[in-house]
Amino acid sequence: MRVFLIFFISILTLAIAFSQAVLKKETNLHTQYSIADKLFRKSENIKSTKNGSEALEEKINKQALTIFQKIIPDIERSGDDSLAFFCYFKTGILLHYFDSITLAKENYLKAIDLKDKIQSIEDSFLFQPLLFTGRIYFSLNQFDSAYIFFKKAELITEKYGTVLNEEQRLYNSLGNMYYETGNYRQAKNYFEKAILLLSKTYPDYKDFLINYKINIASSLLKLEKFSEANIIYESVLTSGINTNEILLNLGIINLQLGNLEKAIPYFNKVHYENNRTIALYNQIAKTYLKLLKIDSANRYLDLALEENEKWNAANKNIRHGITFQFLADKFIIEKNYKQAVDYYQRAILQFYPDFNETDIYKNPKTFTGVFSYINLFNTLTTKADAFENLYQQDKKQSSLDAALHAYRSAFLLADYVEKTYDSDEARLFLNKIKYKVHDRPIHISLQLYELTKNNIYLEDAYNFDQQNKASVLSLNVQESAIKSESSSNVALFEKENLIKNNITRLSLKAGQINDSVQLEKVKTNIRDYEIELGKLQEKINELPGYKAKKFAKSIPTVSQVQKILSKKTALLSYHLSENEMVILCITPDELSYTKQAIDSTFYTSIKKLKTSLNNYKGEEKYNADKTSTQLYNIIIKPILGKIKNAENLLIIPDDELNNIPFEAFNDENGNFVLGKFNVQYQYSTALLRDDIKSNTTNKTTLAMAPFASKGNDEFSQLLYSKNEIESLKGNILMDSAATKKNFLALAEKAGILHLATHTIVNDSIPEKSLIAFYPFTGLSPAENNLYVQEIYNLKLHATKLVILSACETGTGQLAKGEGLMSLARAFTYAGCPNIIGSLWKADDKSTAGIMQRFYKYYNNGINAATALQKAKLDYIQSPDIEKRFKSPNYWAHLVLTGVPENNTSSYVWIWIVGVITTLIITFIYFLKQKTGR
């Protein structure tokens, strides 16, 4: 027993000693951690102290790092996960400070992994490790990974009502992400938000402020708002902060504006000591290439390659891609196209990290993730151009095929990016980039078709043509239709619509504010809503069912279009270039085309006819017949042989052709196209697809005439608008009942909307275009008038026809490749497939007369296109109308844009009844013959 007691006491003594040792060690670890943490915090505030210096900051950081790295293994063994989390996190920050980014990333990731196991630590502590890890991935050009970590950090900010430490850096980082992917408007929003969140007490406040302002200016530069960008750069240049960056961008502005000799002095003042030297040498080389000083360009491109080897080694990165791109451009100047193609291929590998094909005949076929979209698109198209030039040298079909293949890849990318972007502004900007090259793939497709007679190339021409037709509008209609059909996620879609309405409301308010302080406040609110909308749309895009439908192929095949067309319908899609017009013709049996040489006189004639149609008032002789015939001979006559069996034309115009009604063209005998064909228009075949058609069974009508009895100081009385709508069945609202409030309450339930009113169309600022309603005195313009932005937000999927019986509702600012930014387009955007609008200032009486005749036919089941044609012909042929009022000015302004419909009218039933009656009579006759009666 005594032996056992001695043994027990010994064990207990050893246990106590061990516990004391462990406790002492843990105490020592905590002490060591406290010492390192104190140094860490001292370093953070060193610059704000009187004797602070960079050298002292570096010395203290080294001391802190040494201690943290020494105690981490023991802390790991101790099992103290909380202490280990903070150790790894702060070690990561210190390694990041010393540019050991690989080791820094490892420590951040270990901290993030540990946090998942620890419930006692607030999520807010996870924000910075996520943010800093994302920043490292971004610096390594691993945008997909960076984006994931930034978005996780962003989710944490949304959980807290207060601004987290370093939150402004998250917004700046996300701004950089949007910038690199070409969404410059959203990038600017995020940079501005970063400034708003930047506290004046933040260490290095001024440095960060200048940096964020430079980023805003860089976004403006990309948006081609050079003067605005220049003002910001000049304003911060005197600060002495980030001077190199400012000078570089001032040089780039001059380079973009073509002031090449002014750009070089700015570049020469820049002296980087980091990997930004690659960007500097690239820009200098680009300037010398434009000056055709090839030797100088070569020298700087070689320097860029050396710097990349020094800083990036074999890691893919955008700047290295730009160097390759400029090297390829140099070979183009030297007409060494094979070498140029090789270097464009190298650039592609840098811009799209997931693509690794060195074979110059291969291009990306599918796209995922986040990368340098715009750089990749530009390189694919310049590679295609190089192959086309190579074909001129070697005359090998393979070179021309390779050019087309590169264009296919480029436009697949554009389609992917368009669906990735979260705003129309970003999509329209992308369209401007697309438009610069949109003619080339169509030309190459037809060239290959003529060489081979292989229909696949003709289908290529059709696809490229449609990809350059109203893609932004088509995508929005498609998205809206998908949402309207979804029974789930309604709350998300409603929230999205609410944010859009708030942005519209504030935008309208901003247009009425003169006080600069108030205006800045409203702009800030708009920016915050745009950021919130972007976040919400990213969530919507990730909805499985929605994403699959949205990213599906938008443009129907030729065979799908042919199934939509009736036997008597031909679709004509026009494509304009500087010297040639291509007309693609689709009938139920054939896809064909014709080409017409054009020059500047063609565009002059279009402008002349448009002016004549707009300005003729019936008091003088109408003298546009000659111009109209000239255009008929170029636009219609060459295709007549292909459409000889057609009665209906579905026209998809291009650019300037949007301004004129084809039915007003007359042939050499003075016969209008209207007499031979009923004509309707469409923006793109993408809008012909079955899944974006509206409900065609809704027969309810909402008709409004706010100025039937009187006008006001701004708008005159529309005397005949009462006659135009009073006989219609449904909600017929005139004068004081025809308010904007009533329209908004009733419009989304109506099958037919008819607005006989005034409009204001602003070609310079399309968002200021409006439809006028009953003018309540004392109300603001936003309460009286329906602005185009508000129309975009309507949900008109139940509406099958909108009639805008008002001036210029079908015209507006021309966006190349997108069409006219008209009020009619806005109603298509809102979901209605068929719109009758006006191309110029309409005559009240003639418009009312035509619309009364239109309804006579339409209400009997004649489709809208045929009903409008018949109504116009009745007007022209009426003996009650003076000849001078029968010029196209009085009837051709009304045009129908929409989806072809078959006549499902009482006439069809009359025909069916007639056939049945004939069969019965024939049966009775033969029965009588058989019975001898």
Q: What confidence tens digit (pLDDT) does each residue in 145-198 have? A: 999 999 999 999 998 888 999 999 999 999 999 999 999 999 999 999 999 999
Do the beta carbons of residue 94 and residue 61 sit within 8 Å?
yes
Phi and psi angles of residue 60, each rounded to the nearest 5 degrees, phi first:
-65, -40
pLDDT attached to residue 908: 44
Q: Say if CB 897 and CB 681 are below 8 A apart.
A: yes
| Helix (H/G/I), strand (E/B), else coil: 680 | strand
**85-101 residue pLDDT tens:** 999 999 999 999 999 99
Q: Give residue-wise pLDDT tens across range 462-504.
A: 999 999 999 999 999 999 988 888 888 889 999 999 999 999 9
Q: Give the rounded distance of the alpha carbon of 232 from its chain centre.
A: 26
Is the model's pLDDT at 619 over the cut of 90? no
pLDDT at site 547? 86
Which of residues 788 and 7 earns the better pLDDT score? 788
How far apart, in Å, are the Cα atoms of 488 and each of 176, 425, 502?
34, 28, 23
Residue 23 has pLDDT above 50, yes or no: no
Residues 126, 85: contact at Cβ < 8 Å?
no
Q: What is the DSSP letter of 258?
A: T
Model pLDDT for residues 448-460, shown as the tens digit of each residue: 999 999 999 999 9
Q: Rounded CA gap, 479 and 477, in Å? A: 6
- pLDDT at position 765 is 84
Q: Which helix (H) or strand (E) covers residue 77, if one does?
A: helix 54-78
Model confidence at 534, pLDDT cuts 50, 70, 90, reads: very high
| Residue 582: strand pairing partners | 575, 595
Q: Do the strands 894-897 and 835-838 form a parallel or antiparallel pair, or are they unpaired?
A: antiparallel
Q: How many residues does the chain have?
A: 933
Give me the residue label for tokens 């001129």.
392
Nearest to 705 by CA among 722, 719, 717: 722
Retrieve residue 593's tokens: 């085309």
pLDDT tens for 375-433 read 999 999 999 999 999 999 999 999 999 999 999 999 999 999 999 998 888 999 899 99
Q: Identify the weakest region by mean pLDDT among 172-186, 210-224, 807-821.
A: 807-821
- β 648-652/731-734 pair status: unpaired
Task: Using CA atoms of 576, 579, 581, 582 in order, give the dihedral in degrees to the nearest 10.
Answer: -100
Q: What is the pLDDT of residue 929?
A: 52
Q: What is the pLDDT of residue 690?
A: 60
Q: Which residue has the higher pLDDT, 289 or 765?
A: 289
Q: Residue 695 — pLDDT band, cuts 50, 70, 90? A: low
3-state secondary structure of 336: coil
Examine the pLDDT at 20 and tell me if it is beyond 50: no
Task: Report the alpha-carbon distance of residue 588 to residue 459 in Å, rounded.
Answer: 15
For residue 867, the model assigns a pLDDT of 96
| Alpha carbon distances (Å) from 692 to 40, 554, 798 | 60, 11, 11
Integer Cα distance of 783 and 741 in angstroms: 8
- For residues 826 and 9, what is the distance between their CA atoms, to the nearest angstrom? 91
pLDDT tens digits, 237-250: 999 999 999 999 99
Which region, left, alpha or beta, applies to residue 582 given φ > 0 means left and ψ of -120 to 50 means alpha?
A: beta
Q: Region 112-124: what's the mean pLDDT?
A: 87
CA distance 834 to 253: 45
pLDDT in tens, 537-571: 999 988 888 888 888 888 999 999 999 999 999 99
Sign (positive/negative) of CA torsion 555, 559, 560, 566?
positive
pLDDT at 19 exceeding the cut of 50: no
Q: What angle do CA 775, 780, 782 make, to 5 degrees?
A: 90
Q: pLDDT (tens digit, 9 = 90+) per residue, 672-692?
A: 999 999 999 999 999 996 655
* pLDDT confidence tier of residue 17, bands split at 50, 70 and 90: very low
Q: What are the tokens at 709?
A: 């009895």
DSSP 672: B
Q: What are phi and psi of 371, to 5 degrees?
A: -160, -170
More confident residue, 47 or 731: 731
Q: Is the pLDDT of residue 781 over 80?
A: no
Let me know: does 414 contact 434? Beta carbons within 8 Å: yes
Residue 4 pLDDT class (50, 70, 90 cuts): low
H-helix or E-strand spanning residue 894: strand 894-897
What Å distances lie between residue 759 and 648, 762, 836, CA to CA?
30, 10, 14
What would the mean pLDDT of 66-73 be, rounded to a whole number? Answer: 92
pLDDT at 732 over 80: yes
* Beta-strand pair 580-587/590-597: antiparallel
Q: 314: exposed, middle or buried (C-beta count within 10 Å: 0-12, 13-18, 19+)? A: exposed
Our measurement of the distance from residue 458's CA atom to the centroid of its chain's CA atoms, rounded to an integer in Å, reads: 28
3-state SS, residue 78: helix
Q: Are 136 and 142 in contact (CB under 8 A)?
A: no
Helix 439-452 and helix 455-467, axial crossing angle in degrees, nearest 10: 170
Instruction: Look at residues 227, 219, 528, 259 and name the one whose alpha carbon lies nearest to residue 374.
Output: 219
Confidence of residue 835 (pLDDT cuts 50, 70, 90): very high
**Phi and psi based region of residue 493 (left: phi greater than 0; alpha: psi -120 to 50; beta: remaining):** alpha
The string of DSSP codes covering 812-837 is EEEETTTEEEEHHHHHHHTT-S-EEE
Give the closest residue to 861 by CA, choosing from 908, 799, 911, 914.
908
Give pLDDT, residue 30. 85
| CA 685/CA 486 separation, integer angstroms | 24
Asked whether the predicted pLDDT for residue 643 surpasses 70, the reply is yes
| Confidence check: pLDDT of 909 > 50 | no
Which whole number is the average pLDDT over 502-523? 89
Residue 224 has pLDDT above 70, yes or no: yes
List b or e across 382-395, with b for residues whose CB sees 16 or more CB atoms inside 10 angstroms. bbbbbbbbbbeeee
Give the pLDDT score at 816: 87
Return the pLDDT at 47. 61
The mean pLDDT value for 894-910 works out to 70
CA distance 306 to 304: 5
Residue 5 has pLDDT above 60, yes or no: no
Helices (H), 764-905: 781-784, 788-792, 823-829, 844-858, 864-877
Mean pLDDT value of segment 270-290: 97
Residue 911: the pLDDT is 42
Model pLDDT, residue 559: 96
Confidence (pLDDT) at 620: 67
The answer for residues whose C-beta is within 8 angstroms of residue 762's C-beta and 6 or more apart is 768, 769, 813
Report the distance separating Cα 194 and Cα 73, nearest Å.
Answer: 38
Which residue in 614, 610, 643 sits closest to 628, CA to CA? Answer: 610
Which pLDDT does position 397 carry in this prediction?
A: 97
Mean pLDDT of the chain: 90
The mean per-residue pLDDT over the stretch 817-828 comes to: 92
Q: Alpha helices, DSSP H only, in 116-142?
A: 124-139
pTM for this predicted structure: 0.89
- Mean pLDDT lowest for which of 291-305, 310-324, 478-492, 586-600? 478-492
